[in-house]
Amino acid sequence: MPHPLSTFKHCPRCGAPTFVTHDARSLRCTTCHFIYYHNAAAATAAIIRGSHGKLLATRRATMPARGTLDLPGGFVEPGETLEEGCLREVYEETGVHGTIVRYLFSQPNRYDFAGFTVDTTDAFFEVQIADETAVFAHDDAAELLWIAPEDIDLAAFGLESIRRGLARYLQ
């Protein structure tokens, strides 16, 4: 497997083409000595169970894994807590406000985006939404589906961390 930063050729600080491997997750500039570390990005996934017992899934409208199932969620923005990022993503993808019920667990993930692999740590939360009847697909969700837990086909979910997280939740 190539170094996670192998596509980076120039130092982001001084611009010199002297960016070389420092260790398994970082590059070092031999001109200005800047070290850039490849760290995991924070992301969230919301497990929303309706009053009917079904789970809310989204169909991905964008790459990666366009057309596959997912859970509401996404990247945490700078300055946000995990909880704030989760609830913002729930609102952006479903059009309804939610409340964090509890933190569940986390899963590592590798997210391919525009030819670059982003390592993430996905925090899973159980979320309650304000109005189940008001949900609509928005932002990067092409469709919303309520699925009974016994009908969930993990293979239909496009991201490995979501498959692992759902399997763990459903145990």
**In the chain, what are the domain boundaries?**
1-39, 41-170
- The string of pLDDT tens digits covering residues 155-169 is 999 999 999 999 999
Determine the residue type at 126: E
Mean pLDDT of the chain: 95
Question: DSSP 3-state assignment of 133?
Answer: helix
114-133 b/e with 16+ CB inside 10 Å = b?
eeeebebbbbbbebebeebe
The DSSP annotation for 79-106 comes to: T--HHHHHHHHHHHHHSS-EEEEEEEEE
Q: Is the pLDDT of residue 7 over 90?
A: no
Tell me the C-alpha to C-alpha distance, in Å, between residue 152 and each of 70, 78, 89, 116: 11, 33, 22, 30
Q: Judge contact between 149 and 119, C-beta under 8 A.
A: no
Question: What are 96-153's pLDDT values in tens digits?
Answer: 999 999 999 999 998 888 777 889 999 999 999 989 999 999 999 999 999 999 999 9
Q: What is the DSSP letter of 40?
A: P
The pTM score is 0.91
Question: Domain 41-170: which topology?
Answer: Nucleoside Triphosphate Pyrophosphohydrolase (3.90.79)
pLDDT at 118: 87
Place of tokens 């939610």: 98
Confidence band for 4, pLDDT divided at 50, 70 and 90? confident
Q: DSSP labels for 45-82?
A: EEEEB-TTSPEEEEEE-SSSSTTSEE-SEEEPPTT--H
